[in-house]
Amino acid sequence: MLSGGDMLIRALHDEGVDLIFGYPGGAALHIYDAIFNQDKVDHVLVRHEQAATHAADGYARSTGKPGVVLVTSGPGATNAITGIATAFMDSIPMVVISGQVTRDAIGSDAFQETDMIGVSRPVVKHSFMVQKAEDIPMIVKQAFFIATTGRPGPVVIDVPKDVTDPGETFPYEYPETVRIRSYNPPTKGHSGQIKKAVEILMGAKKPVIYSGGGVVLGDGAEFLTKLAQKLGYPVTNTLMGLGAYPATDKQFLGMLGMHGTYEANMAMHESDVILAIGARFDDRVTNSDVSKFCPDATILHVDIDPASISKTVTAHVPIVGPVAPVLKEMLEQVEASKIKQDKEALAAWWKKIDHWRERQCLAIAPGEGGIIKPQQVVEALYKATNGQAYITSDVGQHQMFAAQYYHFDLPRRWINSGGLGTMGFGLPAAMGVQLAFPDAVVACVTGEGSIQMNIQELATCKQCALPIKIVNLNNKALGMVKQWQDMQYGGRHSASTYADSLPDFVALAEAYGHKGVRIDKLSELDAKMAEAFAMKDDLVFIDVSVDPEEHVYPMAIRGGYMSEMFLSKTERT
């Protein structure tokens, strides 16, 4: 016989959860007492509920297992919303348990009451309100099933306080299986459609494989790589898809889209066949006018979510299904296919691509007087970590530099908020990764703007002894905002600068009990970076002064074709 609170924690354990992120409060106290009374499920105390959701998110992205969050009612629940929305946009499996006022107080505007089911509704895959304690095991089972299957996403379980009352106990049994009659996600793709797609692929003269976050989340990286190499076709990844195809391979064109490489965007624009896998033709890829998107391409689109297919760009061959089995079947069909590839056309296509590559769109123009370019910092980071680190990022210029210059060869190593674009994501996400992989090198590439949105988590890192390396590209301004203001608003820097009120980040890190390293000369960049990463057991805040005038390029020209880009402050296509 267990109380509702005990059942909840026991059910998490039975579901395979050993770590949850949270913050206590009145309505969740029975649950917190249940945590205290057992040792199977560990709890990490964050310093703000938003960080709990991002940490669980980072844990989920790096491991593939669902992240779990526990918060209290009212402000605890609403603080979690940004992190839930972040996970929702990027399809991250997550279960968020929120305390709620007692059942009889719901609707009475009680202290710390908020309608969490209502507030979270647009940003969750599904949600449950526990009506009676006996339902807890089945609700937990269903919540994890929904969060982790189909297109994954966050699920909220709202738990009224009296349901977890330690004074009332019930028989407990965790269900072994679950079936929800109204929820049946696809488990494989349609073979006929796959056949049709393979025929078009094999006959392509100017093909591109465009793969997205779904390939990472759906564990399809291995099959993607095999398929691409079997076909010999160029591959580009979205921001969310980086690492699904090895970035150092010769068939890789780099990231595509708004800040994608010249060669990736040119190849997309001129392609005759696009194989889109686990990607959703987001506006950062297609630019604003979809009628100008890849005018000559036949589009083959694989996605587990039918609503992502033909949402913005019409797919000629839609394939609904999980990416891994679909890619596997495609690979088998390609291997068995009798269609002869047009070797001559493909050789000409690669020649064209090599010509685009010669433009070296990511070449770094060194700064004057030893000033450090932000891109050089990411290169130094890549060297210091041998390209093997888990990299989390915040949102802004530094995020794009990390995506462009850290060459991810493995999936689940690049962890960023691509869809919602949540500043403040990087540090808590890094906590989740480091807790999942205590011996791995975890670095958070951030900016002085983003890091201040969840800086309080330095305390959580101290409490949990997390040796994260924070690489702060400090340009003393909201760089991406400033870039847009430079390019589109006549250089009027409205509310994007604060140079005279920045904290001393090294001193701040030290105040939290961590180490700090300041780098402001290019000549010391590599050495100091290596020195910071040599401090294996410490969190090191690496504050790097970078050129405040730097912009991210290439940059798509709004409303244009994918082939239209700014390549620097003075050049455009």
Partner 1 sequence: MRRIVSVLMENQPGALSRVVGLFSQRNYNINSLTVAPTEDPTLSRLTLTTIGDDRKIEQIIKHLNKIVDVAKLVDLTEGSHIERELMLIKVKATGAQRAEVKRVADIFRGDVVDVTPTMYTIQLTGTSEKLDGFIQALQGTTILEVARTGVSGVARGEKVLSL
Q: Which residues bind partner 1 (CB under 8 A)?
A: 117-118, 121-122, 125-127, 129, 146, 180-183, 305-307, 310-311
Residues 6+ apart with CB under 8 A from 431: 44, 46, 51, 55, 58, 457, 460, 461, 464, 466, 468
| Least distance in angstroms from the C-beta of 96 to partner 1 | 16
| Least distance in angstroms from the C-beta of 103 to partner 1 | 13
| Least distance in angstroms from the C-beta of 422 to partner 1 | 19
Nearer Cβ to partner 1, position 85 or 556?
85
Nearer Cβ to partner 1, position 156 or 377?
156
Residue type, 123: V
Cα torsion through 188, 191, 193, 195, rounded to 10? 130
| Least distance in angstroms from the C-beta of 547 to partner 1 | 41
Nearer Cβ to partner 1, position 120 or 496?
120
Q: What's the Cα-to-Cα distance from 254 to each of 47, 238, 257, 408, rounded to whole Å?
A: 37, 9, 10, 10
Distance, CA of 63 to CA of 49 (rounded, Å): 21
| Least distance in angstroms from the C-beta of 173 to partner 1 | 23
Catalytic residue IDs: 49, 111-112, 161, 480
| Least distance in angstroms from the C-beta of 126 to partner 1 | 4
Cα torsion through 561, 563, 567, 573, rounded to 10? -90
Distance, CA of 151 to CA of 304 (rounded, Å): 6
Distance, CA of 208 to CA of 134 (rounded, Å): 53
What would the two tokens of residue 191 be? Answer: 């073979």
Cα torsion through 370, 376, 379, 383, rounded to 10? 10
Tokens 């407990």 sit at which residue?
172
Nearer Cβ to partner 1, position 6 or 158?
158
Q: What sign does the CA torsion over 215, 216, 220, 223 have?
A: positive
Nearer Cβ to partner 1, position 299 or 445?
299
Distance, CA of 36 to CA of 156 (rounded, Å): 23
Nearer Cβ to partner 1, position 183 or 512?
183
